[in-house]
Structure 1
Amino acid sequence: MVAILSSWPWENLGNLKYLLYGPLIAEVLYSRIYVDTPKFDWCEHILILCALRGAVYTLWCSYNNMHFLTRKYRIVQQTVDFKQIDSEWNWDNFIILHALMAFMACYTSPLFATLPLWNSKGYLFALLLHIAIVEPLYYWVHRHLHTDYFFTKYHSVHHSSLVQQPQTGGHATPLEHIIMGLIMGIPIVGTCLIGFGSLRMIYAYVLMFDFLRCLGHSYTEVVPSLIVTTLPFLKYLLYTPTYHNLHHREMNTNFCLFMPLFDALGDTVNKKSWELHKKISSVTGYNLKGRLHQSWCVPRYGFQYFLPFAKNGINYHIEDAILSADRLGVKVISLAALNKNESLNGGGTLLVEKHPNLRVRVTHGNTLTAAVILNEIPKEVNEVFLTGATSKLGRAIALCLCRRRVRVLMMTQSAGRFHSIQMEVSEELRDFLVQVTKFQAAQNCKTWIVGKWITPGQQRWAPPGTHFNQFVVPSILEFRGDCTYGKLAAMKLPEDIQGLGTCEYTMPRGVVHACHAGGVVHLLEGYTHHEVGSIDVEMIDVVWNAALKHGFKPV
């Protein structure tokens, strides 16, 4: 039998749960529209406070995920995976619960009938009540939640998350959050009872409470060791992310709310707390041992890649990412999307030539992209129309298809570049490569491979029933209702992969762009070469078979 208050009564409502805010919103609208002189409206302030509380957790989570800022100070090397994301999806249930609790309290007690905007003494009394009552009470309750009965029925949900993040602080049972709400209310009610309550004090206390909860559940250390070393008494007044993380790893220690003083008094301080904190907060590098794959991002907007004057700036950031990876001991760095653009850096060639002694292997991953595109083309196809035909991907696709004796209509205005590619195949196969300069040439071809963006007007030349394969960024507009459109080349990751918690671009879960999968295969196969510049056509089948061997699957 399910224990009472161990599950949320609205857990089956999905996003409709936000309708529970309806009575508060209705009260605000009614007072604004129909009341000539609106009285002090608690509903409005409760709604504002709920929005601000959600923002605190969201902003903390965003900070945790800023790899370029936090990678040196991660407490755990695991990442938040989709299983945890799903389990914590309704982390904000407690905000709705506390809103309803506040609504009942404010409209049933004359204590909250009206409050001044500001009372400076209220902050001091709220702090004193927090230290004297809230901290020891929470410590006592928390220890009891770790007894067999309460832990199994209620508290184990909170400890089910492998990687603590701010949302983990909200991932708990209704009973725990009812208790938390009542405990939070003690300084607020107490300060109002003695006549020093104010609206700003309530806002400040609740938001600071949430801020410190997020701090403790962060998987990134934010408190410098120098502060604790210089002012050692602080280790009793404020916990750190490392301190609280140890509670989730060794659950019979570090029970405090925010102040380790009460763990010290209860003899439950984890002996490794401050040594580990110093080690993590003083770190100068980032341990990547055991990572299958590390994602790197160059912070640039897509349109900037097409601005000639932005070229040097973008290459500077790409180069900086490569050198950072090299210093950190990363084995393979995969250039993403437009970072490997031929006109930008020659598919990575310029960067590798500039730094010939790199230990990290740089890869554009396009060998596997070519393999995916080629394996998507049905064997019975005997003619294709190819745009972007002289790009590194277009060249490789054209050469492979002509070897399969498929006629390739190569759309290019450059006779010289076309002739250069044509000369790479034996004389008997050269007739399978045909230069075309107008889209009209493809009006009878039902297989288009788009490597250069085409307009809806240019798509009109395709006959009904055409399938558009594509390797162009951004994807072409799906303009033709009588044709079908392929997605960007991608592969499903191996089923045994761990720690995956993000999706790429428009890809579903567990699916990555083929070029990124190519970077992982480069690592798993232990290739020692840089995969930059032109695609080695002889490696296409080799890389494809290697990807299948390691558990990658075509989409």
Structure 2
Amino acid sequence: MFTTLVTKRSSVVALYGYIFYIDFMNNMGHCNFEFFSKKIMSTFPLLKYLSYTPSQSISLNNLIEETIVEAELNGAKVISLGLLNQIKVVDGSSLAAAIVMNNIPKGTNEVLLRGKLNKVALAIVNALCKKNIKVAVLYKDEFKELEQRVIVSKGSLALSPINTPKIWLVGDEWDEYEQMKAPTSSLFIPFSHFPPKKMREDCFYHYTPSMITPITFMNSHSCENWLPRRVMSAWRIAGIIHALERWNVHECGYTILSLEKVWEASIRHGFQPLKTLTHQS
């Protein structure tokens, strides 16, 4: 731009290149800056990189979780962070699980769960069992693990053939072979941070746990490059809601908040469900 002003000449390549670069950076997560004032960014420079780069944020969050869990297992009753005790740790698992629950079509009476049985997956299974929705798994070891780790009523869990259920809840470590064996017109609903590889043209894929941002949000584009514009992932929204509601609790380790509570709070603050389903593209 400076060169254009000095030479009074412009380049079409430079112009479109500049526009492409700005749009690309916005799409990769530039919108996260609008949630922090310039004063905070100047006081804590590293926050700029943590808020801009999703993978770094996730790594930091996982490190904090692992540290707290390890301390609990070793018998620690209190973890002191000095002045940082004023800050609440929010991993976003509760809202992610709540969004998945609301992405399941009304009237569903059985789902197939596949992927790593992490905190979000267990919260979803607990919520489904409370609603008397049967949760099917493909493998005996998963069945036994769920029996030990979640509160289920008789008949809530089942082993199922791979070609039976049409509603799949999928997470990390989902096998591509299993995806190819799913029935035609199956609906795949991720509970993971990252979307699964889309391999079926005859099936439907939901977005990863996310919501449409309120219309009052300014300069909000897309927070992840696989989400539409003005859509934010559950893990980012959770921190905003936690702050707005002034909840005086941590959400990390084994702690799960009420799914109904976090969902209602998100809706009340203007976030909207993302109902769009996509074919393989």
TM-score of the superposed pair, with normalisation by structure 2? 0.71
Deviation at 1:400, TM superposition (A): 0.6
Q: Is the 8 A contact 1:348 1:362 kept in 2?
A: no
Deviation at 1:420, TM superposition (A): 1.9
Residue among 330, 338, 363 paired with 2:90:
363
Larger Rg: 1
Equivalent in the alignment of 1:396: 123
Residue among 215, 236, 244 paired with 1:495:
215
**Which is richer in strand?**
2
Instruction: Give the fraction of aligned pairs with identical amino acids, expressed as a percent.
Output: 25
SS at match of 1:363: coil
Equivalent in the alignment of 1:445: 165
Deviation at 1:528, TM superposition (A): 1.1
Equivalent in the alignment of 1:297: 50
Residue among 545, 550, 553 paired with 2:264:
545
Q: Distance in 1 between matches of 2:54 and 2:106?
A: 39
Deviation at 1:285, TM superposition (A): 2.8
Q: Distance in 2 between matches of 1:497 and 1:298?
A: 17
Q: How large is the RMSD of aligned CA atoms in angstroms?
A: 3.7
Q: Distance in 2 between matches of 1:433 and 1:404?
A: 13
Gaps of 5+ in 2: 1-10, 72-77, 275-281
Q: Is the 8 A contact 2:192 2:209 kept in 1?
A: no
Residue among 212, 225, 247 paired with 1:527:
247
Equivalent in the alignment of 1:100: none
SS at match of 1:547: helix
Q: Distance in 2 between matches of 1:295 and 1:363?
A: 18
1:409 aligns with 2:162: no
SS at match of 2:235: helix
Q: Is the 8 A contact 1:367 1:515 kept in 2?
A: no
Equivalent in the alignment of 1:469: 189
Deviation at 1:407, TM superposition (A): 0.6
Q: Distance in 2 between matches of 1:471 and 1:395?
A: 11
Deviation at 1:431, TM superposition (A): 1.7
Question: Deviations along 1:437-463, whole A, 9 cap, x unmatched?
Answer: xxx723110000002332332212211
Q: 1:415 to 1:449 in 2, by over 3 A?
A: closer
Give the AA of the match of 1:430: K
Q: 1:297 to 1:391 in 2, by over 3 A?
A: same
Q: Distance in 2 between matches of 1:492 and 1:299?
A: 19
Q: Distance in 2 between matches of 1:546 and 1:299?
A: 25
Deviation at 1:406, TM superposition (A): 0.7
Larger relative CO (CA 8 A, sep 6+): 1 or 2? Answer: 2
Q: 1:549 to 1:528 in 2, by over 3 A?
A: same
Gaps of 5+ in 1: 1-16, 22-49, 68-78, 82-219, 221-279, 288-293, 303-317, 319-335
Q: Distance in 1 between matches of 2:44 and 2:191?
A: 34
Q: 1:447 to 1:348 in 2, by over 3 A?
A: farther
Deviation at 1:529, TM superposition (A): 0.9
Question: Deviations along 1:182-226, whole A, 9 cap, x unmatched?
Answer: xxxxxxxxxxxxxxxxxxxxxxxxxxxxxxxxxxxxxx9xxxxxx
1:483 aligns with 2:203: yes
Question: Deviations along 1:295-322, whole A, 9 cap, x unmatched?
Answer: 76289896xxxxxxxxxxxxxxx7xxxx
**Which is richer in helix?**
1
Q: Is the 8 A contact 1:348 1:532 kept in 2?
A: no
Deviation at 1:371, TM superposition (A): 0.6
TM-score of the superposed pair, with normalisation by structure 1? 0.38
Equivalent in the alignment of 1:458: 178
- Alignment length, in residue pairs? 240
Q: Is the 8 A contact 2:116 2:171 kept in 1?
A: yes
Query: What pairs with 1:144-183 in structure 2 (closer than 5 Å)?
Result: none
Q: 1:300 to 1:80 in 2, by over 3 A?
A: closer
Give the AA of the match of 2:134: R
